[in-house]
Amino acid sequence: MKKLFIKNLPPVALIIGSIFLASCYKSFDPKSFQPAFTINGYTSSSSIGAGSLVGYWSFNGSYVDSVSGTMATGVNTSFAAGFKGQAMQGSANGYVITDLPAAIKSLNSFTIDYWINSPINSTGILAPVVISRGDQFWGALDMFFENGSTATKANLKVHFNGQSEVWFTNGMLTNPWGGWQNIALTYDAASSTFKLYQGGSVVASQTVTGLGNLVFPATASKLIFGTEQFQCTPSLGTAGGPQGWASYLTGQMDEVRIYNKALSASDLQALIVLQGKGK
């Protein structure tokens, strides 16, 4: 009976049916059946450290922190092509400054991850990330490239000054200039251990016995990208003004993320790959 029914269909109906089947066939997309790209169990940057992200500056045409909604101020900075979308473009006397979000000031453990593309710091120390401290020369947390860098080597120092003062000074980076570099600093309160990563690999580690949960001082009030606290206008801290041996980021900085826990090496490696794929 089915064959008889098809034979007896009017020609117009057969033509319409053929067009419908053909259109369905053409709209089939085999890519939709492919499994999602996965690395170390993750399919997107946002899934890494989910629920632990306390600050995120994409610098994609804006200085806003996507987590807290806090708007930073760009001083002599602009936007340029970044590692992903746009990036903060630094300059001589340029930096970005914002009020310190409460979730960052209350960190016990942390991860700070960012991309940086900078020429060699030939005119002074270069600080990508600083948490200010109004009653001290140095900030509550400083990350800076020390003077004396070469074309192929740089010492990225870390300084923490909260319940105790810690200098973490053995972070030697290889070929850090003139191209995009992923830098990450982690602190795990359970083990009192700082780790510095370049490109997802540990380049230095330091355990500070008994440090435990970080305690930021009440005078920690600003987060700065691109220079030290005493290079800001007005100068922050007790230095009294800019120092001749300190300088500014004249390259680009992008995709700054701060988490309230120490991410693992595999998490950081996944973050690098997924960001590179725009995910």
Q: Convert the pLDDT of each residue in 170-207 to its tens digit.
A: 899 999 999 999 999 999 999 999 999 999 999 999 99
Domains held by the chain: number: 2
Share of the chain above pLDDT 70, in %: 88
Q: What pLDDT was estimated at residue 34?
A: 62
Same domain as 60, residue 178:
yes
Torsion of CA 151, 224, 259, 110, to 10 degrees: 80
The 3 state secondary structure assigned to the chain is CHHHHHHCCCHHHHHHHHHHHHHHHHCCCHHHHCCCCCECCECCHHHCCCCCEEEEECCCCCCECCCCCCECEEECCEEEECCCCEEEECCCCCEEEEECCHHHHCCCCEEEEEEEECCCCCCCEEEEEEECCCCCCCCCEEEEECCCCCCCEEEEEEEEECCCEEEECCCEEECCCCCCEEEEEEEECCCCEEEEEECCEEEEEEECCCCCCCCCCCCCCEEEECCCHHHCCCCCCCCCCCCCCECCCCCEEEEEEEECCCCCHHHHHHHHHHHHCCC
Q: Give the span between the Cα atoms of 127 and 81, in whole angstroms.
A: 21
End-to-end CA distance of the chain: 54
Q: Is the pLDDT of residue 168 over 50?
A: yes
Domain at 108, CATH number: 2.60.120.200
The domain of 9 spans: 2-33
Q: What's the pLDDT at 16?
A: 46
Do both 27 and 150 map to the same domain? no
What is the average per-residue pLDDT within 119-134?
97
Written as six digits, the tokens of 62 are 């804006």
Count of positions (residues) in the chain = 279
Structural domain contains residue 38: no
pLDDT class for 15, splitting at 50, 70, 90?
Answer: very low
In a domain, 39, yes or no: no
Task: Judge if 7 and 80 occupy the same domain.
Answer: no
Domain co-membership, 106 together with 214: yes
63 and 198 together in one domain: yes
Report, as an integer, the average pLDDT of 30-57.
83
9 found inside a domain? yes
- The tens digit of pLDDT for each residue in 59-95 reads 999 999 999 999 999 999 999 999 999 999 999 999 9
Asked whether residue 40 is assigned to any structural domain, the reply reads: no
Are residues 224 and 120 both part of a single domain?
yes
Share of the chain above pLDDT 90, in %: 80
In a domain, 84, yes or no: yes
Mean pLDDT of 107-111: 98
pLDDT tens for each residue of 140-163: 999 999 999 999 999 999 999 999
- Higher-scoring residue by pLDDT: 277, 57: 57
Instruction: Tell me which H or E stretch contains 117.
Output: strand 110-117
